[in-house]
Amino acid sequence: MEKDRWIDEVLNSTQHIKRTKLKRDLFPIIEERLVLRETRVFGMSKSAMMAAASVLLVINAISIYYFNAENSNLRNDGSSVLSYQEIGIIDYSGY
Amino acid sequence: MSKQDVILLGKIAKGDKVAFKAFYVTHSSMVYNLAISYLKNDQDAEEVTQDVFVNVFKKAFTFKGASAVNTWLYRITVNASLNFLKKKKRSRMSPLENSQFQISDFLNPGVTLENKEKASILFKAIDSLGDNQKTAFILSFIEELPRQEVADIMEISLKATESLLQRAKTKLRVDLGKIYEYRRKNK
């Protein structure tokens, strides 16, 4: 049958296909990509570390600032400092 | 397994660029030709070839010699080509009506002149196969690798490879039959 013969010819059309050569040398491009990748990865991790360190420093500074401010308020306003009796601990026998 | 390739990969794993160049010179043609069978486009095949060698440089240390270097490299190339196709498919618009009956305008430069048209039809039909059938078919009938090597590359059994090939051929025969009828009616 002609149809089957045609299908067989199409299926066999790539038999003994020859290897084609690359039209250009890709090695310099590959090397460039590897260098870029190395640079980018190092740059990113370094900058990420710097950013993380900066954020931590800022958080620390803010915490210290508020902690100091709160402590100084307590010292100035005596009524906010509660004695053990005021908060209900009057019997020390249990301790 | 080529001892030379194993030695080269060992050196590449340590960052040796001279060994990497030697490996590229030996294998770039194989990688490019396999990529072109999947992508049917020079530029895309060049891009995949670059991706493959970047991966070889990055992953050379993972080669433990459990398979042949060629098998390992074929596997990287198959995966890179399939990933590239997936990315391309995602960005592509919906296919035109009757596009399966249109001959691809890509002519594989390795095909003999008298087979150019038929090979273009075959490459177009291969597009409609699923990833595994496509890979089994390309490795067996275009790369002309032994079945066992195809099985090793795909990390499946010999029996599973033969089953995939059988199903791929059946599907291709059906699709090619439709193309034959379409071309006969539109002559």
Average pLDDT over every residue of B118-125: 92
Segment A37-41 long-range contacts (CB within 8 Å, at least 24 positions apart): A37/B54
- If you average pLDDT over every residue of chain B, what do you get? 90
Residue ending a domain, among B92, B120, B153, is B92
| Residue A29 domain-assigned (yes or no) | yes
| Residue A2 domain-assigned (yes or no) | no
Does the structure show a pLDDT above 80 at B146? yes
Largest Cα span, chain B: 61
Residues of A in contact with B33 (CB under 8 A): 19-20
- What is d(CA B126, CA B79) in angstroms, rounded to the nearest whole number? 17
Average pLDDT over every residue of A51-62: 91
DSSP character string of A36-54? HHHHHHHHHHHHHHHHHHH
Q: Determine, for residues B49 and A11 on separate chains, whether the beta-carbon distance falls below 8 Å.
A: no
Degrees to nearest 5, angle at CA B65 with B61 and B68? 115
Q: What is the pLDDT of residue A68?
A: 83
Identify the domain containing residue B136 by its residue range: 96-187
- What is d(CA B187, CA B96) in angstroms, rounded to the nearest whole number? 20
Pinpoint the alpha helices (H) of chain B.
3-13, 17-39, 42-59, 69-91, 116-126, 131-137, 147-154, 158-185
Q: Determine, for residues B50 and A13 on separate chains, whether the beta-carbon distance falls below 8 Å.
A: no
Q: Locate tokens 């100091």: which residue?
A: A68
Identify the domain containing residue A64 by its residue range: 25-73
* CATH of residue B137: 1.10.10.10
Instruction: Give percent of chain A above pLDDT 90.
Output: 33
Instruction: Give percent of chain A above pLDDT 70.
Output: 66
Model pLDDT for residues B11-50, shown as the tens digit of each residue: 999 999 999 999 999 999 999 999 999 998 889 999 999 9
Model pLDDT for residues A13-50, shown as the tens digit of each residue: 988 888 888 989 999 999 999 987 766 555 557 788 88
Average pLDDT over every residue of A43-59: 83
